Amino acid sequence: MSSSFRDLQVWQRGMEMVEAVYRVSEAFPRTETYGLTSQVRRAAVSIPSNIAEGHTRASTKEFLHHLAVAQASLAEVDTQLELAARLHYAANETLKPVHEQCVVLAKQLHQLRGSLLRRTRPDTNPQSLIPNP
């Protein structure tokens, strides 16, 4: 395992996504400041935060748990951005790159979880334990 969570590409990509979500959500209506804007930002921040927290935990099992939480937060972000598009809070052209980041990050999280699962359970097929993104 790398010495710092900052060395993890998945954490770095998560941080890039947070920045993108903050930029995109700046255009949301003021009436959403305490609604969708706040919600999507909190969910985005949760992704790299859980990766970092899990990486610093004492066990692989705890790291896996935090990666699962990060995956769930990523699904929240993707859903909330879809809602923003449907409500016309942001143009599809603006949201498309962030959605593409979601897809790449989901794959990275999936691969990292699979790798950790193989390390902890070599006789188990990790694909049966992780739902596809």
Rounded to 5°, angle at Cα 18 from 56 and 4: 25
CATH code assigned to 5-128: 1.20.1440.60
Domain residue limits, the chain = 5-128
pLDDT at 1 (0 to 100):
47
Q: Which residues of 84-108 are buried (b: 16+ CB within 10 A; e: fewer)?
A: bbeeebbeeebbeebeebbeebbeb
| Tens place of pLDDT per residue across the chain (133 aa) | 458 999 999 999 999 999 999 999 999 999 999 999 999 999 999 999 999 999 998 899 999 999 999 999 999 999 999 999 999 999 999 999 999 999 999 999 999 999 999 888 765 555 555 555 5
**Is residue 5 within 8 Å of residue 51, measured between CB atoms?**
yes
The pTM of this model reads 0.86
pLDDT at 26 (0 to 100):
95
